[in-house]
Structure 1
Amino acid sequence: MIPSILPTYNRAPLSFVKGEGVWLQTEDGRRYLDLGAGIAVNALGHANPDLVDALTTQANALWHVSNLYQIPAQQKLADALVERTFADTCFFTNSGTEAMELVVKMARKYWHDQGQPERTRILTFEGAFHGRSSAAIAAVGTEKMTKGFGPLLSGFTQLPWGDHEALREAAAQADVGAILIEPVQGEGGIRPVPDQCLKGLRDLCDDIGALLIFDEVQCGMGRTGKLFAHEWAGVTPDIMMVAKGIGGGFPLGAVLATEAAAACMVAGTHGSTYGGNPLACAVGAKVMEIVASEDFLDGVRARSGRLRQGLEGLVASHPEVFEGVRGTGLMLGLKCKGAPADLVQAGYAEGVLTVPAADNVVRLLPPLNIAEAEIDEALSRLDRVAARVGSDAG
């Protein structure tokens, strides 16, 4: 008999009833150090008092009115994002997947309004993850994501990771309208795109007149030590997807765009009942206020250096378990010699939570405000986890 919750998740045998900062607690009082942060969502930890205050203050005033009306909290957040980024305008969603749907619509509508409706093709890259909607899985194109869900939305070409010749050849096709990439792949195994490659993509899009789209759903909102990961390369996109950390745990996403890219999206071309609701935007505005601070981002960079140095030592101590460390900021990965699920599972026994990814990588995505003592505790627990895995392998 099918359970009351559709069984699409392979859940761990853990249920948490309380969270505080980097810690989660089960009903029987067991405490776990959360290095996954809800898959990079809880950017400021669990039950952050500033976010709780922002949410409850708004909840006591107004929950929902729909986008038939002006929403002051939405305007405040949009203004903050426009002031701090390349963007001229924002559209708010409830998730990264919803943001992906608008990204595809915007890119295609742009070319329709430019009088070149044939330029519908969007180039994507092997290892990418852009959500689980019909457009998102078509963009990724892997059998794992698409099997049984055809016919797929057409107009996407998936390119090998790091194959510059394949990229140039594909970009030369007359129907190419956009290139979509994660500056740091998350699900694909914590793979940063080198700065020079992001610059090359910007130059290529300028040369062929295509739109450059960044997916910063996982790597954005301070995760890499800059507000957005592409800032390290000194380039800007035309359109960008944001979600996860922007809501600090409350469902929120956004599409940011330049005026040139977004001018095609006039009244009636897109909408959302819940997107940009007062509750989500009140929390998002508080997240932006905290995370966009240069002092806060300096702290992220300092903490990431401490964590990375410790992880490099961990790899050196357990060569039978690990191949290396990859990633940037507080978006780090441990490349394992065996299945990452083994390390994740062993972590439960040591009270530490991590997230598996492709390419035999375990993701470490702690809250951005994790304390130095908590980093040291995390490294100690991961050392014991590695010893368990190494012992089992031996």
Structure 2
Amino acid sequence: MLAQELIRLKRDRLALPAEEIAAFVAGITSGKVGEGQIAALAMAVCLNGMSRAETVALTLAMRDSGKVLDWSDLPGPVTDKHSTGGIGDNVSLVLAPIIAACGAFVPMISGRGLGHTGGTLDKMDAISGYRTDVDIAAFRSAVLDAGCAIVGQSADLAPADRQFYAIRDVTSTVESVALITASILSKKLAAGLQSLVLDVKLGNGAFMSRSRDATELATSLVEVANGAGLNATALVTGMNEPLASAAGNAVEVANAVEFLTGQKRDRRLSEVAMALAAEMLQSSGLAGSHKEGLVQATRALDEGKAAEAFGRMVAALGGPSDFIERCTVYLPRAPVQKTVTAEQAGFVTGVETREIGLAVVELGGGRRQPFDSVDHAVGMTDLVPVGSEVKRGDALAIIHARSDDEAERAAGSVIAAYAIGPSRPPAQKSVLRRVGSRF
């Protein structure tokens, strides 16, 4: 079938045959399908949707457009987690070593910051010497050595997805649930996983601000993964405030090290990370129940094994061998620190989380354009959580900036983002719901 015929079928709300979807995707990587045709199909899908069967076919075709990793020689289950993105969300940095310390292998292929949300790769790039851009051989070696590795997508894993996404990004077709699902899962399937847990964010700091949209995406991801032969579950978690008390790159790495070593564990970060850990251990077969998974994950933290795994991963990928012990030496530090104080007494009743993320981008900690450089040192720490009581003049956050002017602008954004009222708001759950697997 000609590419234009496939576009016509979806334009007219008809089902696309799996074999024709595969041929279209093959045409993307071979150059036989042009950018205009990719854009036209993306828009048709965005407007008219895809069935689960069509989305499974697209996911598998994009997976098969490049190499598929094989971990069958490893002496344990291979699992991973994917987040749809948030603010202060350094869960991957603590979760991967926790799971590795419990006996699983976590080949985590991550991404960079997108829009107002932070990117795991940008955080790892803050570590002196650490390499996120490695070949498959180095990736495998790190996973074998440390049990986990956090790296970027190599050119030969799901290359059709990379081309497809670049066009979606400039044609207002990013929001399609079917295309989001295929994009995420094609890369995870190419990574050779045996199980996957998805963290779908919901709230004013997430891409999904409505409950029904987050549930739709979580359900699509789980059902399509299952249809493609991958055991997957999803947790919908709250993003109506920063997850950790730090937002940025180096500052979130430092926060993760504090978490792993037990120096400081932010409540909401702990709740989400431990829930995901239990889910991963159960879905990978290492735990018989959620409760058992929590016990295992807690033991890995308390005995220092998770911190050791993180340290081994950093060293295996080019970072310093004593990073856990001396992380502040190896992380960049911004020249200006400014404390933002409350202008009135009361309780923190809410945070416009997206505005916090945008303020970090304005400081230089994110990108306005895809190829912008990132200042890994800037960001915010000591962000006060919702429900906290504050007096006038109490600290709400500390800004880490390149200049006094930039710190002042960021401070204004923090003041505007924080709502302070006369009474403490009801406590909000960090983990809102679970979408299960049929496996």
Shared fold by TM > 0.5?
no
Greater RCO structure (CA 8 Å; 6+ sep) = 1
Task: Report the TM-score, using the length of structure 2 for normalisation.
Answer: 0.26
Which TM-score applies when normalising by structure 1? 0.28
* Greater share of residues in helix: 2
